[in-house]
Amino acid sequence: PIEALAENRALAARLVFEMPQADYERLDPRLLAVMDGLSRLQCRFSMDQVRTPLFDMTALRRARVRFLKLDTLWLAREVASQGGFGRISHLKTRMDASGIDIVLEKVENESDLRPLLDFNFDYGQGWLFGKPDLLRARMDARRAA
């Protein structure tokens, strides 16, 4: 598989591998070597299912994480809590300085997004941006085959 990506770097640059935070915290050195090879081919990595915003930035850089997916409702609750605005602002600043984009997950409606607009998060995912069209996806896959 890595050889195929080496031959098709345009495809490799479009791939983002996603892994839960718990798995990143237990990465084996052999897997880090594979991830390093994939990142040299321009593949990127994303961390999701974030349980705690306390990150070892050195470990994230070593694992080649380029995207951090955070739950929108969790962020909104955090912003509303005492000192939360400062904590989220500091997190965004740290991620920006490390070249890691934050993706808001589960943005279901405008009221979910409104308390987070001041932070200029990089990306968002959820129903607010469009309903998944499974029928169209299947038809596109058939055409591509």
pLDDT in tens, 32-64: 888 888 888 888 899 999 887 777 787 788 778
pLDDT in the model for residue 33: 85
pLDDT in the model for residue 134: 67
pLDDT in tens, 78-125: 999 999 999 999 999 999 998 999 999 988 888 888 889 889 999 988
Angle at 85 between CA 67 and CA 18, to 5 degrees: 15
pLDDT in the model for residue 122: 92
C-alpha to C-alpha distance for 31 and 56, rounded to whole angstroms: 18
pLDDT, the chain, mean:
85
C-alpha to C-alpha distance for 124 and 4, rounded to whole angstroms: 31
DSSP letters of 80-142? HSTTHHHHHHHHHHHHHHTT-EEEEE---SHHHHGGGGGG--SEE-SGGG----HHHHHHHHH
Secondary structure of residue 137 in the 3-state scheme: helix
Contact between residue 72 and residue 43 where contact means Cβ atoms under 8 Å apart: no
